[in-house]
Amino acid sequence: MIKRLFNIARAEFNDLVQKNKSADAPLPEPDFFEIRQEETRSDPLEKYYANLEIPVGSDRETIKTAWKTQMKKYHPDLHGSDPKKKQIAEELTRELTHAYRTLDSAFKKK
C-alpha cells in the first residue's frame, strides 16, 4: 500500500515538473505528504509504531495521542479541494486507524 501511495505522489510531482519545464521556473518541492519508506522489521508490530511515528513499546496513552495527532494532520476533509490529495489522505487515515486499532488490541490482550 505504501508503494501505491508513493507512486501517486510521484506522479503528481512529475506532473508539476513537466508543467514548470517550459517556464524555466525552479522545480517545486513535494510538500503534501511525507512518504514513509518500507523497512524490514523483525517484530510484526514495529510497522504500526513506525506508521504512528512513535517509539516501539510506547504506552497506550502515547499511542492514542499519536493517532489523534496524525489524524488531525492527514484527515481527508482537510484536503477535499484536490481529489488526488483526498485519495491519498483517505488511504493514510485507513492505515493509521488500522495501526491504532492493532496496537490498542495488543494492549487489551495483555
- Domain spans of the chain, in order of start: 2-109
CB within 8 Å of 38: residues ≥ 6 apart? 2, 3
Would you say residue 41 has pLDDT above 50? yes
Whole-number pLDDT of residue 109:
75
Would you say residue 47 has pLDDT above 90? no
Instruction: Give dist(CA 5, CA 106) in Å, integer.
Output: 27
Angle, helices 60-74/83-109, rounded to nearest 10 degrees: 170
Of 107 and 50, the one with more pLDDT: 50
Would you say residue 66 has pLDDT above 90? yes
Would you say residue 1 has pLDDT above 50? no
Would you say residue 33 has pLDDT above 60? no
Q: How many CB atoms are located within 10 Å of the residue 84 CB?
A: 14
Whole-number pLDDT of residue 101:
93
Whole-number pLDDT of residue 85:
85
Would you say residue 84 has pLDDT above 80? yes
Q: Which CATH superfamily is domain 2-109 in?
A: DnaJ domain (1.10.287.110)
- 66-91 mean pLDDT: 87
Q: Please provide the DSSP assignment of 23-73 as one string.
A: TTPPPPPP-S-PPPPP---SSTTHHHHHHTT--TT--HHHHHHHHHHHHHH
C-alpha cell at 44: 510484526
Whole-number pLDDT of residue 25:
57
Whole-number pLDDT of residue 16:
63
